[in-house]
Amino acid sequence: MSKAASAPPKTGRRPASWTQDPEGVRRNILTVAKEEFVENGLSGARVDEIAARTATSKRMIYYYFGDKEGLYRAVLEEMYERIRGFERSLDLASLPPVEAMTLLAGFTFDYHAENPDFVRLVMVENIHHARHLATSDRIATLNLSAIDMIREAYDRGVAAGLFRPGIEALDIHLTISALAFYNVSNRASIRQVFGHDMGAPEALVRRRAAAIDTVLRMLRA
């Protein structure tokens, strides 16, 4: 087993002799870095802090990722690729239109609620005008399929007379995303200003139902 993987998380000191484990070290760094960037943003994150919480040293961060932004970009890329994977696992085409939209809206809501890290990183990236998304080749070729899946289900719904025509697939996506995203991204400020916890279980189920309902109402003929 690798040093990075086998070392006691914090307590153990590096042994005098070690085992090489490029992939393990890489993963270890990415995991810790993600936490740090999620918690503190790009400018707020500290490379030293990341290194300290790693089983390896700062040296390796620069060895594998070049610089702080390279590390950040790697974290970002991995996250988007993960989303892409989940997206593909959805099989809307085999469901009736209404059920397909219900599933998609519900899934999107849940994914955001269960992955606040994702939401926070996207916020951070937007604060930086998404310039790291822009310069990432891996993400440029990602080709998120959400829109196509939506269009297919929507078109079927229109053909069946269930949905009203004239809506852009992108608009459907934006509505679904907005409701799911906002619920996580603005949790802290809503809590302070309105004293309401959007993260509480009951609030979550209520809001989830509302989101799905809102989307269906928006679509219905």
Which of 93, 160, 174, 200 is close enough to bind its own copies by CB under 8 A? 174
Q: Which CB atom, from 3 or from 207, has the smaller least distance to DNA?
A: 3
Is residue 107 within 8 Å of residue 90, measured between CB atoms? yes
Stretch that binds its own copies, among 20-28, 35-43, 54-62, 103-111 (CB under 8 A): 35-43
Q: Which CB atom, from 27 or from 191, has the smaller least distance to its own copies?
A: 191
Min separation Cβ 78 and DNA, Å = 18
Both structure tokens of 188 = 């802290």
Q: Which CB atom, from 14 or from 46, has the smaller least distance to its own copies?
A: 46
Q: Count the Cβ atoms, other than its own, within 10 Å of residue 178.
A: 12
Write the DSSP symbol of residue 92. Answer: G
Partner interacting with residue 48 (select from its own copies, DNA, none; CB below 5-8 Å by kind) = DNA
Both structure tokens of 8 = 């006691």
Report the alpha-carbon distance of residue 104 to residue 86 in Å, rounded: 11
Which residue ranges make up the site for DNA (CB under 7 A)? 3-4, 14, 17-22, 24-25, 45-48, 56-60, 62-63, 67-69
Report the alpha-carbon distance of residue 62 to residue 70 in Å, rounded: 9
Report the alpha-carbon distance of residue 152 to residue 159 in Å, rounded: 11
68: left (phi over 0), alpha (psi -120 to 50) or beta: alpha
Report the alpha-carbon distance of residue 127 to residue 119 in Å, rounded: 12
Question: Is residue 90 a contact residue for its own copies (CB under 8 A)?
Answer: no
Min separation Cβ 24 and DNA, Å = 7
Provide the binding-site residues for its own copies, judged by CB under 8 A: 40-44, 80, 120, 122-131, 133-134, 139, 142, 144, 147, 168, 170-171, 174-175, 177-179, 181-183, 185-194, 196, 198, 206-207, 210, 213-214, 217-218
